[in-house]
């Protein structure tokens, strides 16, 4: 049986679905019992635990043959990442207490970078778990293709995709969340020991122009990518309610300047099977069904 955190999100949900399809037993770890009802109906055990509560999380992981660990994303961290580090400490303590033998830990492209940026939180997670005497696979996933959902309204209504990623023709490592989930499920079922880093991106890298073209196909209209000037980022992010936008800005700088990337530009990375056209088409279909 595998205990899955973040199961109500895209990657955790995809991991659980892949395990269930493979005939594995799954324990859904949720913060609120009501969030586990749908998973219980699919045959999952349900454990209620907040990932920031080490005692409850340890109880939820105890008895599992493996676990998928997802650090909740924090897009506006404290300047010293103290909020993120507190959650990481809880995860570490829970893994120690539960004695679960294997974990697939969702990490990120750029987790090995020492330069300040938003992805440092996942570097801190990897460093915190590095000395644990258990089998751990750090699954470093590329930029999620599903982030294109933020561009849905402007692409549909104005034919514009406003891009922080630039230049517009520069391909960036990306991956679909379903491929991340499938890879996590495969790793959990495999026999391996020790600590490993697994890099994952799509077969083809994706530029903002390609995302705009995918929206154009899915919406049956012309969609053009336009650069958001770097000088405007901070004021725009603060207008969105961010108190500490610098780490997010530094992260985008890393992708734009190329210092956030996989080793050997992805030559050794695993490759997902899902392309940007398929992901954007699904986003547009979902948007239409939700409206």
Rounded average pLDDT over 114-121: 98
Please tell me the predicted confidence (pLDDT) of residue 30. 98
Please tell me the predicted confidence (pLDDT) of residue 287. 84
Question: What CATH superfamily is the domain 2-144+175-202+261-273?
Answer: NAD(P)-binding Rossmann-like Domain (3.40.50.720)
Chain centroid, CA 157 distance in Å: 28
Could you read off the pLDDT of 78-112 as tens digits, one per residue? 999 999 999 999 999 999 999 999 999 999 999 99
pLDDT at 139 over 70: yes
pLDDT at 289 over 70: no
Could you read off the pLDDT of 45-84 as tens digits, one per residue? 999 999 999 999 999 999 999 999 999 999 999 999 999 9
pLDDT at 24 over 80: yes
Prior bond of 167 cis (ω within 30°) = yes
Helix (H, G, I), strand (E, B) or coil at 263: helix
- Alpha-carbon span 245 to 15, nearest angstrom: 31
pLDDT class of 124 with cuts at 50, 70, 90:
very high
Please tell me the predicted confidence (pLDDT) of residue 168. 98
Question: Domain extents for the chain?
Answer: 2-144+175-202+261-273
**Quick check: 197 and 140 in contact, CB under 8 A?**
yes
pLDDT at 176 over 90: yes
HSE (side-chain half, CA atoms, 13 Å) at 241:
1
Record the tokens describing residue 15, joined without a space.
Answer: 């991991």
pLDDT class of 291 with cuts at 50, 70, 90:
low
Could you read off the pLDDT of 243-276 as tens digits, one per residue? 999 999 999 999 999 999 998 989 999 999 999 9
Rounded average pLDDT over 156-167: 98
Say which DSSP state 45 is in: E
Burial 71-101 (b: 16+ CB within 10 A, else e): beeeeebeeebeebbebbebbbebbeebebe
pLDDT class of 290 with cuts at 50, 70, 90:
low
Could you read off the pLDDT of 199-248 as tens digits, one per residue? 999 999 999 999 999 999 999 999 999 999 999 999 999 999 999 999 99
pLDDT at 288 over 90: no
């Amino acid at each position: 049986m595998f205990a899955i955190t973040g199961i109500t999100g895209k990657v955790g949900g995809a991991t659980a679905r892949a395990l269930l399809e493979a005939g594995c037993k799954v324990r859904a770890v949720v913060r609120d019992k009501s969030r586990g009802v749908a998973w219980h109906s699919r045959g999952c055990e349900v454990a209620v635990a907040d990932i920031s509560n080490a005692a409850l999380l340890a109880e939820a992981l105890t008895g599992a043959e493996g676990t998928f660990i997802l650090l909740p994303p924090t897009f506006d961290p404290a300047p010293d990442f103290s909020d993120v580090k507190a959650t990481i400490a809880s995860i570490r303590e829970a893994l120690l207490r539960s004695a679960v033998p294997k974990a697939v830990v969702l990490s990120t492209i750029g987790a090995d970078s020492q330069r300040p940026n938003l992805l440092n939180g996942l570097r801190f997670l990897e460093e915190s778990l590095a000395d644990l005497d258990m089998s751990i696979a750090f699954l470093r996933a590329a930029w999620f293709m599903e982030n294109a959902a933020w561009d849905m309204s402007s692409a549909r209504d104005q034919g514009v995709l406003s891009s922080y990623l630039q230049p517009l023709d520069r391909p960036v490592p990306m991956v679909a969340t379903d491929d991340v989930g499938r890879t996590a499920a495969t790793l959990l079922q495999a026999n391996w020991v020790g600590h490993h880093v697994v890099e994952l991106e799509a077969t083809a890298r994706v530029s903002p122009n390609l995302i705009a073209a995918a929206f154009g196909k899915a919406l049956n209209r012309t969609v053009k990518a336009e650069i958001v000037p770097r000088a405007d980022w901070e004021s725009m992010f603060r207008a969105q309610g961010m108190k500490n936008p610098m780490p997010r800005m530094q992260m985008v700088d890393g992708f734009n300047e190329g210092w956030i990337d996989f080793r050997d530009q992805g030559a050794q990375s695993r490759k997902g099977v899902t392309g940007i056209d398929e992901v954007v088409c699904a986003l547009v279909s979902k948007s239409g069904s939700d409206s």
